[in-house]
Amino acid sequence: MPPLRLAIAGLGAIGAEVARAVRAGEAPGVEIAAVVEPIPGPTRDRLAAAGVPVHIDLDALDWDSLDAVLEAASQAALRTIAPQVLKRGVNLVALSAGATLDGDFLASLLSAAQASGARIWVPSGAIGALDVIRAARVGDVASITLTTTKPPVALVDAPWVVEQGINLTSIDDRRVIFSGGPVEAVRGFPQNVNVAALLALAADGPDRLRVTVVADPAAPGNVHEVEAIGSFGSMRLRLENRPSETNPKTSALAAQSVIALLRQLGSPLRFA
């Protein structure tokens, strides 16, 4: 099979790790065709020195040479990157899933992909259980709950924390700081609760999902607990995610989930 030629948009915690892994041969059958990163940094310099085309925006990409673009930047970036990628018939790997809770934006992505024949691949990111939720939706699902617990430092600057005037430094015990639907959760914690959007995508919509965010100085990292109840029975998942070394707001598992997705694309064995 010809290699899958991937452009990476965003060389932060996730994009840099994916670039390293692909170049180290950890995703056989995948090549880095280009990277897009507006801010100078050591990863960008290393890739440029290794001969990888480096761009500051998508305009300079050689689209005909690409099979897929990985968005590993931000929700705002996904909104500008995704339409450009999909209209050219190039597949999109989307990490900033929070943006898809905007129903109009999600619908526009799906119709752009349908029109061009491109595919949107959504890695499992910092969560699991999406397979169970998707299968459960074939029957009836009564409720899905997500409880995300993080050390206060991982919640600094979240819009909800700022708007509500929550003093994170004064939190010395486990404290619920948000409870509500996934749309409000992702608005209030755009860099932290992409997992809520992933669960909503797997559940075909946000209606059945409730989200709680807990600040806990004793949290052993980023903890996600998912519970689902439905005609299939019930499910409970607890993930204690180690934060990425370069971005405490991102779980190390998120980059690994992209690498796992890229491995699967080159494999005859498909999990879903």
* Interface positions with ligand NAD (CB under 6 A): 9-15, 36-39, 72-75, 77, 95-97, 125-127, 191, 194-195, 198, 247, 250-251, 254
Nearest to 14, CA basis, from 68, 70, 84? 70
CB-based contacts of 228: which residues, under 8 Å, 6+ apart? 129, 132, 133, 136, 141, 143, 144, 145, 234, 235
Backbone phi and psi for residue 88, each to the nearest 5 degrees, phi listed first: -90, 5
Place of tokens 């997500």: 146
43, two tokens: 């990863």
Shorter beta-carbon distance to ligand NAD: residue 7 or 30: 7
Give the list of residues 6+ apart from residue 10 with CB closer than 8 angstroms, or none: 36, 37, 70, 71, 72, 73, 74, 77
User: 26's torsion region: left (phi>0), alpha (psi -120 to 50) or beta?
Assistant: alpha
Catalytic residue among 154, 224, 241, 244: 224
The smaller minimum CB distance to ligand NAD, of residues 16 and 112, is found at 16
Nearest residue to the partner ligand NAD, using Cβ: 12
Give the nearest distance from C-beta 255 to ligand NAD in angstroms.
Answer: 8
CB nearer ligand NAD, residue 4 or residue 96: 96
Least Å from the CB of residue 107 to ligand NAD: 20
Minimum distance between the CB of residue 33 and ligand NAD, rounded to whole angstroms? 15
Minimum CB separation from ligand NAD for residue 254, in Å?
A: 3
Q: What is the CA radius of gyration of the chain?
A: 19
Nearer to ligand NAD, 27 or 34 (CB): 34
Q: Toward ligand NAD, which CB reaches closer, 247 or 264?
A: 247
224 is annotated as an active-site residue: yes
Helices (H), the chain: 13-23, 42-49, 75-87, 103-116, 130-136, 159-163, 182-188, 194-202, 252-265
Catalytic residue list:
224
